[in-house]
Amino acid sequence: MPPRRFSYEPERIGDDLFCLPLPLHDGSPVNSFVAVAPDGLRLIDGGLDTPECQATLERGLETLGYRLRDVRAILITHGHTDHVGAAPAVVAAGAALYAHPLEATDGRRLGFDEAWLRRHGMPAGGTPMRWGTRATWPAPSHLLEDGQRLAWGPLELQVIWCPGHTPGLVCLYEPARRILFTTDHVMRRARTPISLRSDVPGDPLADFLASLDKLAALDVETVLPGHGRPFHGLDRRLAELRAEAAAQLDIIRQRLAHGPASAFDLLQAGAEPARPVPERYAISQVLARLRYLEVRGEVRCQEAGGRFRYALRERAA
């Protein structure tokens, strides 16, 4: 099969709003959005901090008739490495930086606890991450709050805190235009990765599902995701995401009905569909589902010989 080809040409969303697709390491695009106002530009996310990605961003701005120095502010929807790349350069040039306070603190801890994952069955070694798990970006000059109204050039945005994919992820709603920036919280086809990378408190899958409910209450015509093309039919996509999460939980229940298993055992049993991602990332997603079931009293974690296995409550002795 020939390699897929992607376009990185700016896409017009409106007369004063554009999408700039930017290349990731595999060539697939991550989106940066540009709002144009008489006093300059406002960015929503800024791609990877790689020469190719940042050069593509600058070429896209030049196509629109602007330079990076024309950016007055950048909003980071969440702190993953593929969204924060432009932040250091635009902040150094005098731009303001907006982000949720959790994303500027807890959201910076992106690393995997390798020893903890091995206790859950992850083999030693494994496929390395394609890019680093530490995102380098400046401290925000403005902290976002859930429900905040934000004048963003020509846009009047409502900030919607949607934890799950990361602790401080925000979506952005423009009610007059009925558009919703969903970043990685809701994408057109891809399932949102919800992971547990270390033994920290919290229930990210429950947070994610509750955040979907917040978006369901909005009157939305066009969804602008962090990856992929704009799309319509938000309600349908939200229902699909809920169904996918339920199906993955059922796979875990069905496998554990045959006896205790590690997170890696569950991964091999299909609790995370086969995708070209490192095993540590796939296991971390299985662990987020196990945490969800554990919090609800459906499963319990058992430790023996320094290894963790999970069992259904009614089967645990």
Residue 132 falls within a domain, yes or no?
A: yes
Q: Work out the end-to-end distance of the chain between its first and last CA atoms, rounded to an integer number of angstroms.
A: 51
Structural domain boundaries enclosing 183: 11-258
pLDDT at 15: 96
Residue 218 falls within a domain, yes or no?
A: yes
Residue 279 falls within a domain, yes or no?
A: no
Residue 177 falls within a domain, yes or no?
A: yes
The total number of structural domains in the chain stands at 1
Residue 215 falls within a domain, yes or no?
A: yes
Residue 223 falls within a domain, yes or no?
A: yes
Residue 236 falls within a domain, yes or no?
A: yes
Query: Which domain CATH number covers 205?
Result: 3.60.15.10
10-residue mean pLDDT profile of the chain (317 residues): values are 76 97 94 98 97 97 97 97 96 97 86 92 69 73 98 98 97 98 96 93 97 98 97 98 96 95 90 66 95 97 94 70
Residue 284 falls within a domain, yes or no?
A: no
SS (H, E, C) the chain: CCCCCCCCCCEEEECCEEEEEEECCCCCEEEEEEEEECCEEEEECCCCCCHHHHHHHHHHHHHCCCCHHHEEEEECCCCCCCCCCCHHHHHHCCCEEEECCCCCCHHHCCCCCHHHHHHCCCCCCCCCCCCCCCCCCCCCCEECCCCCEEEECCEEEEEEECCCCCCCCEEEEECCCCEEEEECCCCCCCCCCCCCCCCCCCCHHHHHHHHHHHHHCCCCCEEEECCCCCECCHHHHHHHHHHHHHHHHHHHHHHHCCCCECHHHHHHHHHCCCCCCCHHHHHHHHHHHHHHHHHCCCEEEEEECCEEEEEEHHHCC
pLDDT at 316: 41
pLDDT at 110: 80
The rounded distance, in Å, linking the Cα atoms of 49 and 54 is 7
